[in-house]
Amino acid sequence: MAEERNERPLRHDRHSVVACALRLLDDVGLPDLSMRRLATELEVQPSALYWHFESKQQLLAAVADRILSAVGELDPSTTLEDAAQAILDALLTYRDGAEVVMSTYALRLGAHGAQRALLGVLDGDQSAADALFEFILGHATLLQQRMHAQSIGAVAADAADPAEHSDEVFQAGLHAFSAARSRH
Amino acid sequence: MAEERNERPLRHDRHSVVACALRLLDDVGLPDLSMRRLATELEVQPSALYWHFESKQQLLAAVADRILSAVGELDPSTTLEDAAQAILDALLTYRDGAEVVMSTYALRLGAHGAQRALLGVLDGDQSAADALFEFILGHATLLQQRMHAQSIGAVAADAADPAEHSDEVFQAGLHAFSAARSRH
């Protein structure tokens, strides 16, 4: 399994480090995803991780790109609704996926594929594409926090729960961005 | 200063507990805002806080309402742009303000004033109002995370920083929700 690169023998390449980080994310969640814990999981010293990633933020950016990797393969004829739904689905696939992407996008790292897809369906309007991405991230973050709260029993099962109209809210947002585009 | 309520003497009322929590939030940030730390600040036992708030989430909901309290006083003739800007300004006034409101709104606690304001400017369209609130929360969270990263030097000062076009992105989002409304 050992791999030679840049004169230094490494047991793991970038790809396998990111894959392990993603598994760990699903297991423990973002707050507990530390470089130390990831190193333990990979059976290496934490310093070995910095051989691949200069900081935790750089690692999280690679994780964010992996989370959104399905979005990069969209057909050019994809609609705004389909692109947005593909991004939402990708974010919701992994525990804390929305928060990982939010935190790296805040530093302008990662998520480039999703941004390109939105730019495509919004006819190259950069501000609108960024705004739509911010809406999707806000929606996904709220949804994941709510699902997490329900899973640990922090929200009463019989509470009036507008999660049930969550899809309607998402469609209302997409409708707005579609409406604005067609008026240009 | 002691106050009698429900047979039990208390040194603080709900209002002063929330005011202290808000000061502490500004000082230490959301991740370090614990009930224990708040109790120490108020010089009471943590159990005394639960006399006022049955959980940390209930306390954070009251903090979220305080953060957004300026929004509740909007004039009925307020435009969508002004209402959204007032909410954004309120969220950005306090450290981690957006994340506090996001985390309580995810549980459907707090933020009712802001929701009412958005419902008003969107002619009672609940789904559109919720979507717009999600956009504002996403925008504000990203902005605060970016400002925080810059303040601790995690983002190079000379990095290509689209924070400079942040206002343009916010306006693009508001334009979309305006456009959708006027088509009804």
Among A137, A97, A108, A133, smallest CA distance to A118 is for: A133
Q: What percent of chain B has pLDDT over 90?
A: 61
Chain A's closest residue to B180, CA to CA, is: A176
Clarify whether residues A72 and A121 are in a common domain: yes
Contact B131 A139 (CB under 8 A): yes
Clarify whether residues A39 and A82 are in a common domain: no
Q: Which of B108, B142, B179 sits opposite A106 (nearest CB)?
A: B142
Residue A131 sits at the chain B interface (C-beta within 8 Å): yes
Q: Which domain holds residue A8?
A: 3-53
pLDDT tens digits, residue range A93-115? 999 999 999 999 998 887 888 99
Interatomic CA distance for residues A118 and A115, integer angstroms: 5
* pLDDT reading at B26 higher than 50: yes
Ramachandran bin of B123, using left for φ above 0, alpha for ψ from -120 to 50, beta for the remaining angles = left
- Domain of residue A103, CATH code: 1.10.357
Mean pLDDT of B86-92: 96
Per the model's pLDDT, the better-predicted residue between B182 and B26 turns out to be B26
- CB-CB contact of B83 with B118 (8 Å): yes
Domains held by chain A: number: 2
Q: pLDDT at position A163, please?
A: 55
**What is the amino acid identity at position B120?**
G
- Domain of residue B121, CATH code: 1.10.357.10
- CB-CB contact of A118 with A83 (8 Å): yes
Clarify whether residues A88 and A112 are in a common domain: yes
**What is the amino acid identity at position B147?**
M
Dump the DSSP string for A47-82. HHHHHH-SSHHHHHHHHHHHHTGGGGG--TT--HHH
Q: Which of B108, B138, B179 sits opposite A138 (nearest CB)?
A: B138
pLDDT tens digits, residue range A37-95? 999 999 999 888 898 899 898 999 999 999 999 887 778 788 999 999 999 999 999 99
Clarify whether residues B49 and B74 are in a common domain: no
Q: pLDDT at position A8, please?
A: 47
Clarify whether residues A107 and A149 are in a common domain: yes
Contact A173 B134 (CB under 8 A): yes
Interatomic CA distance for residues B30 and B41, integer angstroms: 15
Residues of B in contact with A161 (CB under 8 A): 108
* pLDDT reading at B21 higher than 60: yes
Clarify whether residues A87 and A169 are in a common domain: yes
Interatomic CA distance for residues A160 and A157, integer angstroms: 9
Residue B167 sits at the chain A interface (C-beta within 8 Å): no
Prediction pTM value: 0.89
Q: Is A133 inside a domain boundary?
A: yes
Q: Is B131 inside a domain boundary?
A: yes
Structure tokens at A66: 């992996």
